[in-house]
Amino acid sequence: MATLTSTDDVYTYIGGIFREALADPVLGPQLAASGVVLRLDYRHPDAVLVVDFPGGTVHLGPDGELPKANITLSMETELAHQYWLGRVNAAAALAKGQARAKGSIPKILKLAALAKPLFPRYEASLRAAGLDRLVDEVGVR
């Protein structure tokens, strides 16, 4: 299945959607109020993102001084990509072991719900970069 193939792409497109979310006048304050510092550990390609919602920052890569996360999610990059296209049931992915979570499950599911308006923007960012294949050749989980 088509997915992001390089760490740089992960940081550009998934990192980018988080930056958009934080900058969004409606969504940004809601995310900040969650109090969540989210660490995402992706595999194949490997990538680490730490999103500090209250602090309004997105850290890319495992190096340097990272904010202490209170929620950590680990998964294949392919799953993350499918999630941002709106094709993953987050609760089911956790139950099936496709994603591993550390931290408050209610907060994770709340974040998942808040993210829904961003799905079209993620798709649009890929299409704008000529990566239509990453959208059109993705199944549903």
Residue 77 is a binding residue for other proteins (CB under 8 A): no
The closest of 44, 106, 108, 50 to 80, measured between CA atoms, is 44
Q: Does 94 bind other proteins (CB under 8 A)?
A: yes
Angle at 49 between CA 10 and CA 72, to 5 degrees: 125
Cβ proximity to other proteins, 21 vs 108, nearer residue: 108
Answer for which of 25, 64, 97, 139 binds other proteins (CB under 8 A) is 97
Interatomic CA distance for residues 73 and 77, integer angstroms:
11
Query: Is the Cβ of residue 100 or residue 127 nearer to other proteins in the bound state?
Result: 100
Q: Which stretch binds other proteins (CB under 8 A): 55-63, 78-86, 95-103, 131-139?
A: 95-103
Q: Which is nearer to other proteins, 98 or 125 (CB)?
A: 98
Q: How many residues does the chain have?
A: 141
49-66 burial, b for 16+ CB within 10 Å, e for fewer? bbbbbeeeebbbeeeeee
**CA-based nearest residue to 84, from 29, 6, 35, 21:** 21
State in angstroms the smallest separation of the CB of 79 from other proteins.
11
- In the complex, minimum distance from the CB of residue 73 to other proteins, in angstroms, rounded to a whole number: 12
Q: Would you count residue 98 as binding other proteins (CB under 8 A)?
A: yes
Query: What is the contact surface with other proteins in residues (CB under 8 A)?
Result: 91, 94-98, 100, 102, 104-106, 109
